[in-house]
Amino acid sequence: MLAFRCFDSYTSGQGSPGRALDLTQAYAFGQDDVPISAAVVQENDIIRIERTGTDAAGLALQAAARLPDGKGSLGLLALQTCLLPERVEPYTLSLELARHRIMLFLNKLEEWDFFDLATDDPVMVIFERARQAFTAALVTANAHATQSDLVKADLLAQDALGLAVDAGERLALLNAQRTLPLRQSGQLYARAAQRLEALTQEAPSPGVPITLPGEHLTVLPGVAQIGCAISPVSISEPVAKALTGVCDFVTMPMRWLELEPEEGEQAFGPTDRWIEWALKVAKLPVVGGPLLDFRINSTPDWLYIWENDYETLREMIYEHVQAVVTRYRRTISRWTICSGLNTGTSFKLSPEQVMDLTRSCAFIVRKLHPQARIQVEISQPWGEYFSLNRRSVPPLVYADTLIQAGVPLDIIALRLQMAQPLPGQMTRDLMAISSMLDKFAALDRPIAITAVGCPSEAMQPAAPPTRRAANANPFADELDNEDATVDSGPILNPGTWRKPWNEATQADWLAQVVAVCAAKPGIASVCWQDMVEVTGRARPPEMPAGGLITQAGAHKAALNKLALIRAALREGRTVPVPPL
């Protein structure tokens, strides 16, 4: 049995003792953190993982993290345990969550070459407090512990967890602050070039990405580009002025729903005007796409007619991609060809069909526009969806399979959106984000963050949006039950990060996450999800309250932060990152 004990003192992040943990988005995982099929249920104070097989597994869930002695909340975050063997006695949940965070911190100390960090450094002081609290919890929760001892051990473990999360976030920022100047000055790239020449006896071509053999690390020249997505309905002179101070490029979201609202009736006019505005008024290069995106807000209703006829669907996708790329290939510098196909939602596609569509789109674009850079966008990069949807493909498996199959991909793109009540958007801390990026860096491809974002106001728990009943539940596993009917899905809690979501929190989160991303040597670009909040139209915004400019035209604090970061990156100055 694999089970975890939680105590009345443990809260769900709302500050009310004795509440049951919200397990709506909880899942079990196995080797390499890949989610597995399992039910996570709670009975009284026991959380149990019901599954087939007896291999070691772990539990991931939303849980509150806080600093000891009432010094503040770290938020309601997605956390996880280590891989654990089955045993008769339940594990203590808080103890195992703390164990994982301490282990992750130590691993990153080694991976990021921080073992020379002084013991009196503030980060190490906090971590040492976490280690001591964890040790005390282990000693207290011994084999002969009473119920009172177990409760005391739980409280100590919660202290350790909060301190370890806090230390981890600070270490992630410290790593970014150390690496960014090396990337800005060109030292990081020059060192990689020297090492590559020493290994291969050949000097790399100037300005090309360097992948060091056996090290699973791609190093790019220069600094990461900063961009923002913007809808055609948002274009204006004030927006163009704001863009030039914030962005190195803009992203045009080419939604099939808007380009062909009715089958055979193309509507390129708004996109034509948008691209002309971007190039002539905003004077910024354009990233186009995704060309194929099966999210509810991107797919035309009429396309669902063909979801059970794969050959016809594939042909229609081919014709659509061909038409869009042919029309805009003289104006687009980079194409996002597919988005979110890895999640297996909306359409009943097998993993083989998902790979086939991705491969076909890549080869079409390469043939029609050989000079363009091609990227595939991965949604929900932690892969929670795979635990309940066996038609899907785990994120890293999806990307690695495409690369091994020789699909012509220049960049792996990631959507990094948080704190929205949608699948895969649980709030995560800076260490979790940085660690996830390190995993994708091992694919030996540059990485683009194509939709980074969080809201500027608290978003209430809600059911995921649905277009129609057959596709409404993002967690529905249709592989074994083709005729299953589902409701609108579970109510999802988006979580919190340190403080309630507001404009100040959004600005702080943006500054810290963009700095962490931009410091990674293989990150090619970071793009905010939406420049202008526009509501009251048929297509909902990318994220309510997730833009940098309000509908009334007011600039948020996050816009100014992004402008300062971009200027510092370009000028070789210290990137302004607010303290935690």
DSSP string, 109-176: HHHTT-TT--TTSHHHHHHHHHHHHHHHHHHHT-TT--HHHHHHHHHHHHHHHHHHHHHHHHHHHHHH
Q: Are residues 169 and 272 in the same domain?
A: no
274 within domain boundaries: yes
Q: Looking at 485-545, which runs of residues are DSSP E strands?
A: 523-528
Nearest CA among 537, 375, 561 for reference residue 450: 375
Q: Are residues 168 and 229 in the same domain?
A: no
Domain boundary among 120, 142, 177: 177
Q: Tens-digit pLDDT profile for the chain (580 aa)?
A: 899 998 864 444 333 333 457 899 999 999 999 999 999 999 888 999 999 888 999 999 999 999 998 899 999 999 999 999 999 999 999 999 999 999 999 999 999 999 889 999 999 999 999 999 999 999 999 878 888 899 999 999 999 999 999 999 999 999 999 999 999 999 999 999 999 988 888 888 888 999 987 777 899 999 999 999 988 878 888 888 888 889 999 999 899 998 999 998 999 998 999 899 889 988 999 999 999 998 888 889 899 888 889 999 999 999 999 999 999 999 999 999 999 999 987 788 999 999 999 999 999 999 999 999 999 999 999 999 999 888 899 999 999 999 999 999 999 999 999 999 999 999 999 999 999 999 999 999 999 999 999 999 998 888 877 654 333 333 333 333 333 333 456 889 999 999 999 999 999 999 999 999 999 999 999 999 999 987 755 556 789 999 999 988 999 999 999 999 999 999 999 999 998 9
506 within domain boundaries: yes
197 within domain boundaries: no
265 within domain boundaries: yes
pLDDT digits (tens, 9 = 90+) for 446-476: 999 999 999 999 988 888 776 543 333 333 3
186 within domain boundaries: no
Q: What is the pLDDT of residue 539?
A: 59
Q: What is the pLDDT of residue 240?
A: 86
Helix and strand tally (H, E) in the chain? Answer: 13, 18
- How far apart CA 61 and CA 384 sit, in angstroms, is 10
- How far apart CA 305 and CA 324 sit, in angstroms, is 22
Domain boundary among 177, 210, 241: 177
Q: What tokens appear for 420 in the block?
A: 């929205």
* Structural domain boundaries enclosing 29: 2-177
206 within domain boundaries: no
Q: Are residues 142 and 33 in the same domain?
A: yes
Q: Are residues 131 and 241 in the same domain?
A: no
Instruction: Count how many domains the chain has.
Output: 2
Q: What is the pLDDT of residue 83?
A: 97
pLDDT digits (tens, 9 = 90+) for 41-67: 998 889 999 998 889 999 999 999 999
Nearest CA among 17, 5, 19 for reference residue 493: 19
185 within domain boundaries: no
Q: What is the pLDDT of residue 480?
A: 37
Nearest CA among 525, 499, 517, 511 for reference residue 558: 511
Residues 6+ away with beta carbon under 8 Å from 489:
423, 463, 464, 466, 472, 473, 474, 475
To 5 degrees, how large is the angle CA 462–CA 468–CA 470? 105
Q: Are residues 120 and 247 in the same domain?
A: no
- How far apart CA 216 and CA 533 sit, in angstroms, is 39
Enter the pTM of the model. 0.93
Averaged confidence pLDDT in the chain: 89
Q: Are residues 133 and 239 in the same domain?
A: no
Residues in the chain: 580
Domain boundary among 122, 151, 177: 177
pLDDT digits (tens, 9 = 90+) for 83-140: 999 999 999 999 999 999 999 999 999 999 998 899 999 999 999 999 999 999 999 9
Q: What is the pLDDT of residue 182?
A: 95
What's the CATH number where 408 sits?
Answer: 3.20.20.80
Q: Are residues 241 and 158 in the same domain?
A: no
Q: Are residues 122 and 243 in the same domain?
A: no
Q: Are residues 265 and 148 in the same domain?
A: no
Q: Are residues 549 and 443 in the same domain?
A: yes
Q: Are residues 414 and 299 in the same domain?
A: yes
Q: Give 495's Cβ-side CA count (13 Å radius).
A: 31
538 within domain boundaries: yes
Q: Are residues 27 and 93 in the same domain?
A: yes
Judge whether 93 and 60 are in contact, CB under 8 Å. Answer: no
Q: What is the pLDDT of residue 199?
A: 86
- How far apart CA 165 and CA 149 sit, in angstroms, is 24
Judge whether 125 and 166 are in contact, CB under 8 Å. Answer: no
b/e string for 308-331 if b means 16 or more Cβ within 10 A? eebeebeebbeebbeebbebbbee
Secondary structure class of 75 (helix, strand, coil): strand
Q: What is the pLDDT of residue 164?
A: 98
